[in-house]
Amino acid sequence: MPIIGSRGASVPVSSGALLFSIAIIGLSFNHYLSTQRRLEELNISLESKVNERTEQLSIMVKQEALRANGLLFQQEKNEIVSDVIVELESCHTLQMGIEKIASSIEALCMPFAGVFSIASTDGWQKAHSWGQKMNTSLPDNAELIKLKFNNEQGVFPFRFVNQQGSVCYVALLQVQATEALNGYPVAHFMKLLKRAIEKINITLANIALREELQRFSYEDESHWIKKPTLFLRSYGM
């Protein structure tokens, strides 16, 4: 049955249904396209967030690995210092102690280059060097008074204060650290090295004190051994 239009023209039912269907299909297609565009945008945004998160996790993993390597590096150096101090405590003289340090100092400073010099009456004597060649200058006796720890220049004196209150310099360590090692900053290494040598200096002071007390004890024993002899001689015995 035809439908009468507004102008009196008749429109077959089949044609109206066809137009209605086409309109529905058009709306559905537009909705589909719109949905697809939103899905594509959502996928791009999600993929971008996943890549960003993956990159962040990768950076965190690398940082954690560097931190773990740094802690392991620091622990190894602290163990070396502990071993050196234990060996020093068995030394009876400063000379023995300095020789112990000279044989162990390379392991403490590696992989960085360094020079270990020993103080003598004639000045400084380079006892040991390792790594790449360093252009270092040793201080003269006048500069000893001003010689201090210098982390930036890698200068670490071995010194202690004797019983008379004088500062005694017995050795000098010069280290050249050019770049970070496995994420462990050079500045942190220099601070670690400074703390290590400060501990060693305390042990050297104890060795010097024991050596001085032993010398005084020997002198006292010699004095009392000579006294009876003088007493006997005064009476002609």
Distance in angstroms (rounded) separating the CA atoms of residues 70 and 59: 16
Domains and CATH numbers, the chain: 66-215 (3.30.450)
Does this model's pTM top 0.75? My answer is no
| pLDDT at residue 229, as a whole number | 44
CB atoms within 10 A of CB 37: 10
**What b/e readout covers 62-100, taking b as 16+ CB neighbours within 10 angstroms?**
eeeeeeeebeebeeebeebbeebeebbeebeebeebbeb
Per-residue pLDDT tens over the stretch 138-158: 666 545 555 666 767 788 989
The answer to whether the CB of 94 falls within 8 A of the CB of 204 is yes
The predicted model gives 121-133 an average pLDDT of 83
| pLDDT at residue 165, as a whole number | 79
In this structure, what token pair is assigned to residue 219? 């002198």
| pLDDT band with cut points at 50, 70 and 90 for residue 195 | very high
In this structure, what token pair is assigned to residue 232? 């006997």
| pLDDT band with cut points at 50, 70 and 90 for residue 3 | very low
Q: Which of 20-24, 50-54, 76-80, 209-213 has the highest mean pLDDT?
A: 76-80
Q: Return the beta strands (E) in 93-184 as ranges.
A: 113-120, 123-130, 155-161, 167-176
**Local structure of residue 216 (DSSP, 8 states):** H
In this structure, what token pair is assigned to residue 14? 């089949």
Per-residue pLDDT tens over the stretch 22-63: 778 878 878 888 888 888 888 888 888 888 888 888 888 888
Q: In the chain, what percentage of residues exceed pLDDT 90?
A: 21
Q: Which of 108-112, 162-166, 177-181 has the highest mean pLDDT?
A: 108-112
Cα–Cα distances (Å) from 150 to 47, 61, 94, 160, 169, in that order, read 51, 34, 24, 17, 15
| Res 220 pLDDT > 80 | no
- The H-assigned helical ranges of 110-159 are none
| pLDDT at residue 222, as a whole number | 54
For the chain, the average pLDDT equals 79
Q: What is the largest CA-CA distance in the chain?
A: 168
The predicted model gives 77-88 an average pLDDT of 94
| pLDDT at residue 236, as a whole number | 39
CB atoms within 10 A of CB 184: 19
